[in-house]
Chains A and B, each alone.
Chain A
Amino acid sequence: METLLRVLLDPLQHPFMVRGLAAAVGVGMICALVGTYVVLRGMAFFGDALAHSILPGLALGYLLSGGSRDALFWWGLGTAVLAALGIGALSRGRRLKEDTAIGILFAGAFALGVVLISTSRSYAVDLTHLLFGDVLGVTDGDLVRLGIFGGLVVLAVALFYKELLVISFDPVLAVTLRLPARLFENLLLVLIAVAVVVALRTVGVALMVAMLVTPAATAYLMTHRLPAMMGVAMALAALSAVVGLYASYYTGVASGAAIVLTATALFGVVAFLQRVRHRPW
Chain B
Amino acid sequence: MAWMRRLAQAGIRMGAPVARQVASWLAERHAPHALEAPLLEVSRVSMRYNDVLALEEVSFTVRTGERVAIVGPNGAGKSTLLKIIAGVLTPTSGAVRVYGQSPGGHLCIAYIPQRTAVDWNFPVTVADVVMMGRVGKLGLLRPPGPKDWERVRQALAQVGIAHLADRPIRALSGGQQQRMFIARALAQEAELLLLDEPFTGLDLPSQEGILALLEGLRSQGVTVLVATHDLEQAATHFDRVLLLNRWLIGFGRPEEVFTPEALRRAYGGHLRLLYVSGEWVAVGDTCCEGAPGA
Asked if B21 and A170 sit within 8 Å, CB to CB, the answer is no
A94 to B50, CA, bound (A): 10
Tell me if B132 and A165 are in contact (CB < 8 A).
Answer: yes
Rounded to whole angstroms, the CA-CA distance of A170 and B143 in the bound complex is: 19
**Partner-binding segment picked from B33-41, B106-114, B221-229, B267-275:** B106-114
A122-151 contacts to B, CB under 8 A, are: none
* Cα–Cα, bound, A89→B29 (Å): 27
The answer to whether A175 touches B124 (Cβ under 8 A) is no
Instruction: Report whether A178 and B25 are in contact in the complex, using a CB–CB cutoff of 8 Å.
Output: yes
Other-chain contact of B123, A94, A170, A183, A220 (Cβ < 8 Å): A220
Given contacts A40-B122, A225-B123, A180 and B25 within 8 Å (CB-CB)? yes
A63 within 8 A of B: no
Q: Return chain B residues, CB-CB under 8 Å to A176.
A: 86-88, 107, 109-111, 136, 188
Instruction: Tell me whether A224 and B125 are in contact (CB under 8 A).
Output: yes
Whether a CB of chain A sits under 8 angstroms from the CB of B135 is: yes
**B214 shortest CB reach to chain A, Å:** 18
Query: Is the C-beta of B141 less than 8 angstroms from some C-beta in chain A?
Result: yes
Chain A residues within 8 Å of chain B by Cβ, number: 32
Find out whether the CB atom of A89 lies under 8 angstroms from the CB atom of B14. Answer: yes
User: How near does chain B come to A94, taking the closest CB pair, in angstroms?
Assistant: 8
For window 156-196 of chain A, which residues contact chain B by CB distance below 8 Å?
A: 159-163, 165-166, 168-170, 172-173, 175-183, 186
With CB as the reference atom, state the residue of chain A lying closest to B25.
A180
A101 vs B265: C-alpha distance when bound (angstroms):
42
* Pairs across A and B, CB under 8 Å, 23 listed: A162-B144, A165-B132, A166-B135, A169-B122, A170-B118, A173-B132, A176-B86, A176-B87, A176-B88, A177-B107, A177-B135, A178-B105, A179-B25, A179-B135, A179-B136, A180-B18, A182-B18, A224-B125, A224-B168, A225-B124, A225-B128, A226-B124, A229-B123
Question: Quick one: given A172-B113, A229-B123, are A178 and B168 in contact (CB under 8 Å)?
Answer: no
A223 to B143, CA, bound (A): 22
Q: Interface on B for A, CB 8 Å cutoff?
A: 14, 17-18, 21-22, 24-25, 29, 50, 83, 86-88, 104-107, 109-111, 113, 118-119, 122-125, 128-129, 131-133, 135-136, 138, 140-141, 143-144, 168, 184, 188
Question: Is A114 close to B, CB under 8 A?
Answer: no
B109 lies within 8 A of A170 (CB) = no
Q: In the bound complex, do residue B86 and residue A175 qualify as a contact, i.e. CB atoms below 8 Å apart?
A: yes
Give every chain A residue within 8 A of B104 (Cβ-Cβ). 178
- A169–B129 Cα distance when bound, in Å, is 9
Query: Assuming A159-B141, A173-B111, is B21 touching A183 (CB within 8 A)?
Result: yes
Residue pair B132, A169 in contact (C-beta under 8 Å): yes
When distances are taken between beta carbons in the complex, the residues of chain B under 8 Å from A111 are none
Enumerate chain B residues within 8 angstroms of A159, measured Cβ to Cβ. 141
* Inter-chain contacts of B138 with A (CB < 8 A): 162
- Which residues of B lie under 8 Å from residue A223 when comparing CB positions? 123
Q: Report A-chain residues with C-beta under 8 Å of the C-beta of B88.
A: 172, 175-176
Question: A166 and B21: CB pair below 8 A?
Answer: no
Chain B proximity mask over A86-97: 1 for CB below 8 Å, otherwise 0: 000100001000
* Residues in chain B near residue A228, CB distance under 8 A: 123
3 tightest A-B contacts by CB? A177-B136, A180-B21, A224-B168
B252 to chain A, nearest CB (A): 28
- As a 0/1 sequence over residues 185 to 229 of chain A, the CB contacts with chain B under 8 angstroms (1 = contact) are 010000000000000000000000000000000001001111011
Instruction: Verify B107–A178 contact, CB threshold 8 A.
Output: yes
Extra contacts, 14 of them, besides A178-B136, A183-B22 (Cβ < 8 A), are: A165-B124, A170-B118, A172-B86, A172-B88, A172-B113, A175-B88, A176-B88, A176-B107, A176-B109, A177-B133, A179-B136, A182-B21, A220-B123, A224-B168
By beta carbon, the residue of chain A nearest B50 is: A94
Residues on the A chain within 8 Å of B118, using CB = 170
Q: Is the CB of A170 within 8 A of B113?
A: yes
Docked CA distance A247–B56 (Å): 66
Inter-chain CA distance A173–B180, complex, in Å, is 14
Partner of B188, one of A40, A165, A177, A224: A177
Instruction: Give bound CA distance, A168 to B119, whole Å.
Output: 10
How far is it, in angstroms, between the C-alpha of A163 and the C-alpha of B144 when the chains are bound? 12
Nearest residue, chain B, Cβ from A162: B135
Would B119 and A169 count as touching, CB distance under 8 A? yes
Chain A residues near B143 (CB-CB < 8 A): 161-162
Q: When each residue 27-53 of chain A gets 1 if its CB lies under 8 Å from chain B and 0 otherwise, what string results? A: 000000000000010000000000000
Contacts of B18 in A (CB 8 A): 180, 182-183, 186
Neighbouring B residues of A181 by C-beta, 8 Å: 21
